[in-house]
Amino acid sequence: MALIVQKFGGSSVADAESIKRVAKRIVDTRRAGNDVVVAVSAMGDTTDELLDLAAQVAPIPAPRELDMLLSSGERISMALLAMAIHSMGYEARSFTGSQAGMITTADHGSARIVDVTPVRLREALDDGAVVIVAGFQGFNRDTRDITTLGRGGSDTTAVALAAALNADVCEIYSDVDGIFTADPRVVPLARKLDTVTAEEMLELAANGAKVLYIRAVEYARRHGVLIHARSSFSSNDGTYVLGEGMTDPRTSKESGMSDVIGMEEPVVTGVAHDLSQAKITVVGVPDVPGSAAAIFTLVAKTGANIDMIVQNVQSASPGRTDISFTLPKQSAPEVLRALTADQESIGYESLVHDDQIGKLSVVGAGMRTHSGVSVTLFEALSQAGINIEMISTSEIRISVVVRGDDINEAARAVHSAYGLDSEIEATVYAGTGR
């Protein structure tokens, strides 16, 4: 008998019909002789609606109360799911994050899991019940308050439960059939991957892929949890995310090993795009030691997460240079404020804020051993008439910044250029990607 953790996102439990459909899938898994633990998200867009409500009563809602509010979304879906399972003649018990022993740090809105003590879950499993746990929420021992894990946190809940209960697999259900070579909503010819390495998945998630949350993948890699990303709208096999030393349970092969001996895996595994970043250019910075340090010390103080940085050799005025960097859109206002306040001491000429950019990244472990990978990317964009504004690379990734309006076309062109196009269009079942 296996222990299977299943996570269902908001789009999989959007209404009563969907909840019944998910309940049936859970019951099928249980009936096949498995112990089942489920982590569930709030129904549909509930979390967004609750955030809207909060904004209507307070410009800056108190973080503690916001977590109280948001955690209610998952309580609704967990209870309904348990009821639906009951009416199919099976035992099910729902638990809040704190009842499930999800112990977190005290940071409201972005708490991290520090311990999982699933005593009550084990009892329920021993009683033969299906266990349903509210995703996205936890409890801090010092403040004795409810916390939430940050948007998309139910993935992390599921992986943490799988680790704590030593589950055989953590199935993460969404409205697409698994991890694709690109977002199938943007690149219809995207291809489903059978496996992806955790390392590649982390790069894809960090660069805009929304199908799995980065913190969940990190947690899984650290704790050796096998993730199976698949659709709740079909019974198709999905994508296995393989950490160090893990093998594809269907074939017992490690990721990256090809069926045909001597045949190599494609160098590029996937294409990710991201419209959530903005670009700030500090124009006319004195080209002397210490300028970059001064700028980025200020930026760091705001807590903004900087991604790409480009310094031009020389700007229009002699002895000066331009420094551009990208950061999350919502961090830009504070960074602009901080830089403006210190304009005189840094000695730059002006600031340019651009929130109409898009970032396109190609990711593949094969880049370590192949040269010339970037040429294909640059050529594809040039043929599509798309201008590149910034370029950055890591060991297994190349990213470029282009106009936001060009991002969809860029993704399709690059996907095709790396030979990733499938013959048939990918199926998207619901439309949110979660």
Catalog residues that contact Mg ion under the rule CB under 5 A: 10, 41, 47
Asked whether position 47 contacts ligand ASP by CB under 6 A, the answer is yes
Closest distance between ligand ASP and the C-beta of residue 275, in Å?
18
Residues 108-137 touching ligand ASP, rule: CB under 6 A, are 135-136
**148 annotated to bind ligand:** no
Distance CA 13, CA 93 (A): 17
Task: Tell me which residue has its CB nearest to Mg ion.
Answer: 10
Closest distance between Mg ion and the C-beta of residue 143, in Å?
25
- Contact yes or no for 254/246 (Cβ under 8 A): yes
Task: Retrieve residue 247's tokens.
Answer: 């093998």
**74 annotated to bind ligand:** yes
**321 annotated to bind ligand:** no
- Contact yes or no for 103/138 (Cβ under 8 A): yes
Residues 191-210 touching ligand ASP, rule: CB under 6 A, are none
Asked whether position 173 contacts ligand ASP by CB under 6 A, the answer is no
Name which of 152 and 243 has its Cβ closer to Mg ion: 152
Closest distance between ligand ASP and the C-beta of residue 79, in Å?
15
Task: Tell me which residue has its CB nearest to ligand ASP.
Answer: 154
**210 annotated to bind ligand:** yes
Return the one option of Mg ion, ligand ASP, none that residue 151 interacts with (CB less than 5 to 8 A, by type).
ligand ASP
Strand 270-274 relative to strand 357-363: parallel, antiparallel, unpaired?
A: antiparallel
Among candidate residues 304, 151, 277, 169, the one with its CA nearest the CA of residue 228 = 169
Asked whether position 97 contacts ligand ASP by CB under 6 A, the answer is no
Residues 64-83 touching ligand ASP, rule: CB under 6 A, are 73
Name which of 173 and 240 has its Cβ closer to ligand ASP: 173
CA 304 to chain centre: 18
Residue with tokens 């010390």: 297
List Cα–Cα distances, 349 to 33, 308, 339, in angstroms.
69, 21, 11
Backbone region of residue 291 per phi and psi (left: phi > 0; alpha: psi in -120 to 50; beta: other values): alpha
**7 annotated to bind ligand:** yes
Q: How many CB atoms sit inside 10 A of residue 329's CB?
A: 14
The DSSP annotation for 293-305 comes to: HHHHHHHHHTT--
Distance CA 129, CA 125 (A): 5
Distance CA 141, CA 118 (A): 15
Return the one option of Mg ion, ligand ASP, none that residue 399 interacts with (CB less than 5 to 8 A, by type).
none
Return the one option of Mg ion, ligand ASP, none that residue 73 interacts with (CB less than 5 to 8 A, by type).
ligand ASP
- Contact yes or no for 179/192 (Cβ under 8 A): yes
Among 4, 6, 10, 104, binds ligand ASP (CB under 6 A): 10
**8 annotated to bind ligand:** yes
Q: Which residues pair with 148 in a beta bridge?
A: 137
Closest distance between ligand ASP and the C-beta of residue 90, in Å?
25
Closest distance between ligand ASP and the C-beta of residue 213, in Å?
7
Name which of 9 and 404 has its Cβ closer to ligand ASP: 9
Q: Which stretch binds ligand ASP (CB under 6 A): 91-99, 151-159, 191-199, 399-407?
A: 151-159
- Contact yes or no for 160/113 (Cβ under 8 A): yes
Among 6, 41, 96, 326, binds ligand ASP (CB under 6 A): 41
Among 138, 153, 238, 358, binds ligand ASP (CB under 6 A): 153
Asked whether position 154 contacts ligand ASP by CB under 6 A, the answer is yes
Closest distance between ligand ASP and the C-beta of residue 46, in Å?
7
Name which of 6 and 281 has its Cβ closer to ligand ASP: 6
The DSSP annotation for 265-329 comes to: PPS--EEEEE-SEEEEEEEEEE-STTHHHHHHHHHHHTT-----EEE-S--SSTTEEEEEEEEEG
The DSSP annotation for 409-432 comes to: HHHHHHHHHTT---SSPPPBSSSS
Element (H, E) at 408: helix 407-417
Residue type, 342: D
**75 annotated to bind ligand:** no
Distance CA 351, CA 280 (A): 7
- Which residue numbers belong to the known binding site for ATP? 7-10, 185, 210-211
- Which residue numbers belong to the known binding site? 7-10, 47, 74, 185, 210-211
Query: Using CB under 6 A as the criterion, which residues of the chain lie in contact with ligand ASP when the complex forms?
Result: 9-10, 41-42, 47, 73, 135-136, 151-154
